[in-house]
Amino acid sequence: MGIGILELLIVGVIGAGMVVGLLVAVIFVVKLAQKK
């Protein structure tokens, strides 16, 4: 049958969460660097 809609949704949510986590980490590091 291949990949179902549910699997696609789960992969999308996990991927989006990883991207958001990376963005938050980058913003956090940039703010720390600007404080010095």
* DSSP, residue by residue, 2-35: ---HHHHHHHHHHHHHHHHHHHHHHHHHHHHHHH
What pTM does this model have?
Answer: 0.59
Q: Domain ranges in the chain?
A: 1-36
Structure tokens at 20: 């958001």
Q: Is the pLDDT of residue 1 over 80?
A: no
Residues composing the chain: 36
pLDDT digits over 10-36, tens only? 999 999 999 999 999 999 999 999 987
